[in-house]
Amino acid sequence: MLKSALLSLLLAVLLNSCNYLDITPVGQVIPTKSTEYRALLNSAYSSFPRHKVLLNMRGTHYDPQDDPFGMGLDGFDMFKDIYTWNDSNPDYDKTQEYPYMSFYRVIFLTNEIITNGPKATQDGVESISQIIGEAFALRAYCYFELANMYAVPYGNSTAASSMGVPVTTKIDVEQVFPKQSLESVYFQIISDMESALVHMDVEKVSGMDRFKFSLEALYAMQSRVYLYMGEWEKSAQSALRALELGSELEDMNDASYRQVTHYLSKEAIMSLEYISSIELRDYAAISYSLQSSYSSADLRPSKYFAESWFGYLISDKLGSTNERVSFRRAEVYLNISEALAQLGRDDQAKEYLKTLMINRYTSAGYSAVLEKLNSLSGASLIEFILEERERELALEGHQWYDLRRTTQPQITKMVKGESYTLSKNDPRYTLQFPKSAREANPEL
């Protein structure tokens, strides 16, 4: 029964995966060759959830608008409960669920590659070791995202007693899936990243291969994971390793500028995830709070926002399917700046931040903001870095996680004259497991 279930699932995955760039599935059931394992891994990549779209709506960067044709907030009711944090009693007939099982579908495929890949016959120029390394990295990324959606933020003193998410590294579709401690989940994430580092040999990818993990992307992921854990020195070191492999940024003062979320951007490291949707692009206005966070000398609003048909600003970070982003270099500069500032190494933190900011402000504006930056230290410097992080990474799925791991502030939103409030340190900063997941797994 187990073998039959496994064969059926692998067949479904291999025959029904979607293409992205050069992702092409093959019609095999159980892979035995290195090229077949690559196809299976590409299927896992293409199955990665689009959860950042929903997390963006949960934060404060959007302000859904009604429009003259009735296609505003009423046109995408699937987001209303998400926008107002109505998690305990959502309208299940309308509200889109946060992904859960789709992450484990990807994890199942990586488990197959990690477990049986070493026995594969080498039949291509790409080493099976590289493929296995990417599978480790992708599995780590899945667990990291699951933990930051469905578990409390990581804390050194609380991780052992806090519940996380189920962890499975075996190919066994009949196993039970109880939740593990958050400490165990992060142990698995770190272990997988270390295993990926041992196996992978491709330093960077470019062009049509940017949906894949590389060493550069792995170091970028390590810098993010350790930042969220408060492991400042490790975060800074991982970010530095990533920057040693590539340090170029898009210059918004230059006519050659390309959207930073485009997979051909100079600063693209890994371009896998959708960060928006057509509904949000056309009918969700950029909030006043986000717009007002930029100074008049900041070039990012002109690059990141566009005017909608109805006169309000919308995201311009999704112009086509070519615009996806999981890791890009600007985040790495922000990671290392924050980590160094947390370590009290203010001067070093400022130097990395300056490298980013000179590419984001007009010449005159940069001089003014540089004067302000040079006057900051300690907590005020960290606060400024977090503000720059929000401006730079706006609408890319980072804000919700950053709110969770830092101050968890009170947030109030208005929808058609009705007020909704998320209290400071509100339990809703941690998502509930989706109804379908709870029904399928009583262990949740």
HEC readout, the chain = CHHHHHHHHHHHHHHHCCCCCCCCCCCCCCCCEHHHHHHHHHHHHHCCCCHHHHHHHHCCCEEECCCCCCCCHHHHHHHHHHHCCCCCCCCCCCCCCCCCHHHHHHHHHHHHHHHHHHHCECCCCCCHHHHHHHHHHHHHHHHHHHHHHHCCCCCCCCCCCCEEEECCCCCCCCCCCCEEEHHHHHHHHHHHHHHHHHHCCCCCCCHHHCCCCCHHHHHHHHHHHHHHHCCHHHHHHHHHHHHHHCCCCCCCCCCCCCCCCECCCCCEEECCCCCCCHHHHHHEEECHHHHCCCCCCECHHHHHEEECCCCCEEECCCCCCCECCCEEHHHHHHHHHHHHHHCCCHHHHHHHHHHHHCCCECHHHHHHHHHHHHCCCHHHHHHHHHHHHHHHCCCCCCHHHHHHHCCCCCEEEEECCEEEEECCCCHHHCCCCCHHHHHHCCCC
What confidence score (pLDDT) does residue 206 get?
A: 94
Half-sphere exposure of 186 (CA within 13 A, CB side): 25
Label residue 71 by pLDDT band (50, 70, 90).
low
What confidence score (pLDDT) does residue 279 get?
A: 67
Label residue 315 by pLDDT band (50, 70, 90).
confident
d(CA 39, CA 427): 41
% of the chain exceeding 90 in pLDDT: 73
What confidence score (pLDDT) does residue 75 get?
A: 56
Weakest mean pLDDT among 157-171, 180-194, 281-295, 341-355? 281-295
The letter for the amino acid at 227 is: L
- Encode pLDDT of 234-278 as tens digits: 999 999 999 999 999 999 999 999 999 999 999 999 999 988 777
Label residue 69 by pLDDT band (50, 70, 90).
low
For the chain, what is the mean pLDDT?
89
Label residue 18 by pLDDT band (50, 70, 90).
very low
Q: Is the pLDDT of residue 44 over 80?
A: yes
Label residue 7 by pLDDT band (50, 70, 90).
very low
Q: Is the pLDDT of residue 38 over 70?
A: yes
The class (CATH top level) of 1-50+100-201 is mainly alpha
Q: Is the pLDDT of residue 12 over 50?
A: no
| Of 73 and 5, more confident | 73
The letter for the amino acid at 422 is: L
What confidence score (pLDDT) does residue 442 get?
A: 86
What confidence score (pLDDT) does residue 124 get?
A: 84
The answer to whether the CB of 141 falls within 8 A of the CB of 52 is: no
8-43 residues labelled b (16+ CB within 10 A) or e (exposed): ebbeebbeebeebbebebbebeebebbbbbbbbbbb
Q: Which two tokens stand for residue 361?
A: 């402000």
d(CA 372, CA 53): 34
Q: Is the pLDDT of residue 293 over 60?
A: yes
Q: Which two tokens stand for residue 334?
A: 């922000």
Task: Work out the average pLDDT over 213-227.
Answer: 98
pTM above 0.85, yes or no: yes
